[in-house]
Structure 1
Amino acid sequence: MAFEFVGMLPFILLIVVAVWQCVLIGYAYSLVGNAADEAAREGAVHGDAACDAAGRKYISGGWDNVTVNCTPSGNLYKATVSMNLRVLFRGFDIGVPITGHGGSLNELEED
């Protein structure tokens, strides 16, 4: 019995690591999507600086290479937030960007 367990242990650990990475990818997509939505809402009301600040506020400091792009486009204010995907835990950045897009009705008053 112990021999079978020792033989299966690497496979069990590999499955746990694979599930952890899948959860991490899903969480990252959820973070950038929410950050982009919040950035677009803030930018639509308060402008570009508020958009950038809101996009970074909703991404924790543990993620690498966070970029926020805010662009008013007619009646729609768009925000794009991206960050690099990590493998397993902080520090192992593989350079694969994860991007979220958000938009909100532009409420800025023009002079």
Structure 2
Amino acid sequence: MVSMGERFTRSVRSTTGLTRGRDRDQGQTAIEFVGVTPLIILLLIGLWQCALIGYTFSLASNSADVAARTGATSESVRWRAECREAAKEDLPDAWAKDVTTDCDPDDGLIRARVELEVPVLVPGVLNFPYTVEGKASAVRES
């Protein structure tokens, strides 16, 4: 035998459509996930590009530092060429192909300047129209 409370609950559910409403929402989570997926992918692409920009700054400053030290400690007449070669020596291939280096003496200092192009998403494929500059100085030892 069905109690009065159960009978009332059943009649409310059938008249308000509560059970039918739940059945219609079964795929809602999947649809929302598919709608948000492009935004998640764009966010990941943006984060990856920011990481590449930061890595390019790190490479440029390290390359300039190595070039300045090499130019400052070189005892050869070709110290400028050695300075430029040292700037490109430790760079990954994707960054090494578009390097601009300058090594100049200035009041007992060797100043090195390195410019690198920032890659877009995949290093070595396409460059961003943004150049990162690294500068360093070292005291001439010879």
* Same fold? TM cut 0.5: yes
1:1-111 matches, within 5 Å, as: 1-46=29-74, 47-63=79-95, 64-89=97-122, 90-108=124-142
Structure with the higher strand share, 1 or 2: 1
3-state DSSP of counterpart to 1:16: helix
- Higher share in helix: 2
Which residue of the partner structure matches residue 11 of structure 2? Answer: none
CA distance in 2, matches of 1:70, 1:61: 21
| Runs of 4+ residues over 4 Å off in structure 1 | none
Q: Percent identity?
A: 37
Other structure's SS at 1:88 match: coil
CA RMSD of aligned residues (A): 1.1
What is the CA deviation profile of residues 54-106 of structure 1, one whole-angstrom value per residue up to 9, with x for unaligned ones? Answer: 10012111124111110011111100011111111122113321110011011
How many positions carry a matched residue from both structures? Answer: 108
Larger radius of gyration: 2
Please list every run of 5 or more consecutive structure 2 residues that lacks an aligned counterpart in the other structure. Answer: 1-28
- Aligned twin of 2:12: none
* Structure 1 residues not aligned, in runs of 5+: none
**Amino acid paired to 1:100:** G
User: How high is the TM-score relative to the length of structure 1?
Assistant: 0.92
Note the C-alpha offset of 1:14: 0.5
Partners in 2 of 1:49 and 1:93 — Cα distance?
Answer: 26
- With the length of structure 2 as denominator, give the TM-score of the two structures: 0.72
